[in-house]
Amino acid sequence: MAQPVSGRILVVDDEVELAKALCDTLARQNFEVVGVNSGNDVLKALESGTFDVLLSDLMMPGMDGLRLLREVLVIDPQLVVIIMTGQGTVQTAVEAMKLGAFDYVLKPFKLQSMLPILARAMQVRRLRMENVRLREWAERLSYESPRYTLVGSSPAMQRVVHLIEKVAPTDATVLVRGPSGTGKELVARALHRNSPRRERPQVTVNCAALQEALLESELFGHEKGAFTGAVQAKRGLIEVAEGGTLFIDEVAEMSPALQAKLLRVLEDGHYRRVGGTQEFNADVRVVAATNKPLEEEQRAGRFRTDLFYRLNVVTVALPALRERPEDIPELVEHFLTTRQIGAVRSRISPEAMAVLLRYDWPGNVRELANVLERAQILAEDHVITVDDLPDNVFAVPSAPPSGVGSPPGEAFHECHCPDEPGAVTPDDISLRLGEAERLHVKGVLRRVNGNKVHAAKALGISRRALYRLISKHRLEDPAPERPPEQP
């Protein structure tokens, strides 16, 4: 049985015999290989077919390797280029890598030294093509407005987009999981917008916002006289969403009794209004969301196992923002564009962007959006600086930079209390942290002779944040340390 082809390689070398020998050798390693002898031949080959790797000589008459590199990356930006070069042109090969080449090999070379490079090149090619496919899927998704889109080019977010693109056209029940503020409702909107139900309503209910009796009435509706105040019959949200999508947010907050009723809707589509006897049939696509670990909720008896399996047909797991920091610049640009405050769009300074990249964002994307909204209001001349960011996005280092601040262990020895009982309470810890912060800031100020600019830089915070710390801990400008006077 023939082995599958490892990949398509295009070889170019003006030495005809060398190019032919290399092609024959690589073909025996199960590569599909095409050999040519000039840069123009390479361009013609790329126009007529697709290749994974280009193995190119650097010094060729007519079109040399550098010019060829520029040309081929315009035709196929995902092509992986490996340069073959002699000892005397290594510097030029390095320049080629700066222009986009993947690697270079010194001629003459042995096949065994080339094979690992080709294996890595094929892996890079596969990753590049996968990213292209993911971007195409992302571009095909439709959103209700530019404001409500899933933003991010990181692999984690692209996997989310890919999954949405595949499951949206179906009627499958979807469970969206992820920390609060990661965009679970945006996923529900994207699923609805790209489904055959897009012309019908999408209805949202938040289980954490309503008491059990009210939630039951909201979901299933009620008949006249079903309870005190029910002066007329009311349709439930399941009925309102007929033909469309029902998004149940914070589904883990639903009581066991309501979970049983929801399970019946998912199983056979039947339900009754509160206080009624008539059976209704629900034609809705259910998308549920939670930020709780449902496996633990099941073990604790708070969430039905059968409902979990019925909801968990397809799971979309949203990553926390700290798990995809590479998306922060893109998110910043998105929020400054779609949530612009004022007539002129604000921009962000590199220093402020660096602060945002260092922060771990416990509130996730929602927190980032709120921080940027606040910063736009405070910014002068429509430029967001570190002084426009809230204090909580600045993290005081646990250890001072080299040459600045307290020596290792100094803060511990200063705040240690020998008379303290052995048991440590949360209040003790809070007091110790506050004292450690005070001593750390005080030590940094002392060692930079009270220079606020240098102290703020050493602490990694803005001057405004430093002033707040000084006020918080009632620190006056400490004088630099002086040696004791000699008697």
What does 109-137 look like in DSSP terms, one character per residue? Answer: --HHHHHHHHHHHHHHHHHHHHHHHHHHH
| Whole-number percent of the chain with pLDDT over 90 | 55
pLDDT at 131 over 90: no
Q: What pLDDT does 323 receive?
A: 94
Taking each helix axis from N to C end, the angle separating 463-472 and 452-459, rounded to the nearest 10 degrees, works out to 90
| Cα dist from 480 to 407, 445, 456, whole Å | 15, 8, 16
What is the spatial distance between Cα 122 and Cα 104, in angstroms, rounded to a whole number?
15
| Cα dist from 394 to 12, 66, 205, 339, 409, whole Å | 54, 45, 36, 23, 23
Report the pLDDT averaged over residues 344-359.
92
Q: What pLDDT does 440 receive?
A: 80
Residue 157: pLDDT band (50, 70, 90) is very high
Residue whose C-alpha is closest to residue 189's, from 179, 207, 178, 174? 174
Q: Which residues in 349-456 belong to E strands, given as ranges? A: 383-384
Residue 139: pLDDT band (50, 70, 90) is low
CA angle 228, 234, 236 (to 5 degrees): 115
CA angle 266, 233, 203 (to 5 degrees): 45
Q: What pLDDT does 229 receive?
A: 81
Render pLDDT for 182-217 as a digit per residue (tens, 0 to 9).
999 999 999 999 999 999 999 999 999 999 989 999
What strand order describes the sheet that includes 174-177?
202-206, 245-249, 285-290, 174-177, 314-317
Burial of 350 (0-12, 13-18, 19+ CB in 10 A): exposed
pLDDT at 475 over 70: yes
Q: What pLDDT does 241 receive?
A: 94
Helix ranges restricted to H, 209-252 = 212-220, 237-240
Give the amino acid at 221: G
In this structure, whether the domain defined by 322-393 belongs to CATH 3.40.30.10 is answered with no
Residue whose C-alpha is closest to residue 332's, from 323, 342, 319, 345? 345
Q: Where in the chain is the domain with CATH 3.40.50.2300?
A: 8-131
Which of 314-323, 410-419, 420-429 ranks highest by mean pLDDT?
314-323
Query: In terms of pTM, does the model score above 0.85?
Result: no
**Which single residue is written with the structure tokens 């998004």?**
247
Look at residue 376 and give its three-state secondary structure.
helix
Helix ranges restricted to H, 229-363 = 237-240, 256-268, 294-299, 305-311, 328-338, 350-358
Give the amino acid at 308: F
Which H or E element spans position 166? helix 155-167
CATH of region 8-131: 3.40.50.2300
Report the pLDDT averaged over residues 460-465.
77
How is residue 435 written in tokens? Answer: 């004292």
Residue whose C-alpha is closest to residue 396's, from 334, 455, 478? 455
Render pLDDT for 55-97 as a digit per residue (tens, 0 to 9).
999 888 888 888 999 999 999 999 999 998 876 677 887 888 8
pLDDT at 484 over 80: no
Render pLDDT for 378-419 as a digit per residue (tens, 0 to 9).
998 899 999 899 988 885 444 333 333 333 333 333 344 444
In sequence order, what are the residues at sequence separation of 6 or more whose Cβ sits closer than 8 angstroms to the Cβ of residue 223?
A: 230, 233, 273, 274, 275, 276
Task: Point out which residues pair with 249 in neighbouring strands.
Answer: 206
Q: Where in the chain is the domain with CATH 1.10.8.60?
A: 322-393
Q: What pLDDT does 403 receive?
A: 37
**Which single residue is written with the structure tokens 């292209």?**
132
Q: What is the domain class of 155-317 according to CATH?
A: alpha beta
Which H or E element spans position 222? strand 221-222
Q: For 155-164, 239-248, 311-320, 436-445, which range has the lowest pLDDT when averaged over its residues?
A: 436-445
The answer to whether 254 and 242 are in contact (CB under 8 A) is: no
pLDDT at 264 over 70: yes
Q: For 37-46, 56-65, 297-306, 436-445, which range has the lowest pLDDT when averaged over its residues?
A: 436-445
pLDDT at 366 over 90: yes
Residue whose C-alpha is closest to residue 258's, from 208, 299, 300, 224? 208
Residue 6: pLDDT band (50, 70, 90) is confident
Q: What pLDDT does 434 receive?
A: 66
pLDDT at 294 over 50: yes
Q: What is the mean pLDDT of the chain?
A: 84
Q: What pLDDT does 238 receive?
A: 94
Residue 422: pLDDT band (50, 70, 90) is very low
What is the spatial distance between Cα 303 and Cα 296, in angstroms, rounded to a whole number?
9
pLDDT at 180 over 50: yes
